[in-house]
Structure 1
Amino acid sequence: MSIDTLEDLYLEQLRDIYSANMQALDVTDAMARAATDPQLSEALQAGSRGIKGGIDALDRIGKRHDEDVGDGHCKGMEGLAKEARAHAIEQSFGDDAAKDAMIITQYQRLVHYAIAGYGCLAAFAERLELDDDKFALKDCLDASYDGDRTMTDLATGGINEDAIA
């Protein structure tokens, strides 16, 4: 498919972030199960709920445009998800706090991809005067920022310090 207009780019990026969310959901669920700190596990479960909310919002946006947003594959998130599995789930750790610190690291990498994607999409929607889309995408962006801040708070609130030992 040729991308000739901002609308074409917008629709292509909706498919990209949808695929990214599907992949991020799978690995986030796995990291929630792997986390040893109960607050971290809870935060990751909340992150999964947020990702599902984003998927639902993207489905609704796609329907407004008669677009199958599930028809795409995000290679960027494929790499991030693969790295998250390798470093946070499959990696051997001698210390639970170090494992949890790595889980936070990998989750934040996933979230930063979402922040970039939702931010661009919200800006595109604004320029295309798609107000309903813009508001939904900004909600997804805000939720992504909230998830990132939660992980930073957990890391700086004790997990990183516990991992020093």
Structure 2
Amino acid sequence: MAISNLKDIYIDQAQDIYSACNQSEKVTRELMNVAHSSDLKNALKAGVEGIEEGKKMLAEIIKGHGADPTGEFCKGMEGLVKEAKAHAIEEDITDPDARDAMIITQYQRMAHYAIAGYGCLVAFATRLDLPEEAKKLQTCLDETAGGDRTMTKLATGGINEAAV
């Protein structure tokens, strides 16, 4: 798709975040399966559910503009997913608490990518006078940021200490 204005950028970036969500959802499920802490497992499960909801909202928005949600492949998230697999799943980590600390690190890196993407989309939707879409995207942004805060609380609330 040729990009000639802000609406084109908006659709392109919505497709990018949709792709990012597809990729991060899969690896988050894998992270959940290797997590040791039940609190971390629950937080990752909530993360998967949030990603699924975000994908639904993004697909609805993108289709509403006559575009295909799968029109882009997010190379940025591809790299973050590779890192998450290499460092938190495939790495030879002998202490389950240390693995949990690494899982949080990798999950938060992916969440921060999504936070940046959703933030841009909210700004674009607002500028394009698409208030309902901006509201939906703000919900995705808030949920993603909330998941990030949950991971920080888990890390600072005992997981990092246990990993020492």
TM-score class, shorter-chain normalisation, is over 0.9
Listed as ranges, the matches of 1:13-52 within 5 Å are: 13-52=13-52
CA distance in 1, matches of 2:73, 2:103: 24
CA distance in 2, matches of 1:136, 1:87: 33
Secondary structure of the structure 1 residue equivalent to 2:49: helix
Aligned length: 164
**Paired residue type of 1:83:** E
Secondary structure of the structure 1 residue equivalent to 2:3: coil
The alignment status of 1:95 with 2:95, answered yes or no, reads yes
CA distance in 1, matches of 2:2, 2:66: 18
CA distance in 2, matches of 1:31, 1:4: 39
Residue of structure 2 equivalent to 1:10: 10
Q: Point out where structure 1 has 5 or more consecutive residues left out of the alignment.
A: none
CA distance in 2, matches of 1:105, 1:37: 15
Q: CA deviation at 1:17?
A: 0.2
CA distance in 1, matches of 2:110, 2:34: 16
Residue of structure 1 equivalent to 2:134: 134
TM-score, normalised by the number of residues in structure 2: 0.98
TM-score, normalised by the number of residues in structure 1: 0.98
CA distance in 1, matches of 2:67, 2:61: 8
CA distance in 2, matches of 1:105, 1:27: 13
CA distance in 1, matches of 2:62, 2:119: 17
Secondary structure of the structure 1 residue equivalent to 2:57: helix
Residue of structure 2 equivalent to 1:74: 74
The alignment status of 1:83 with 2:70, answered yes or no, reads no
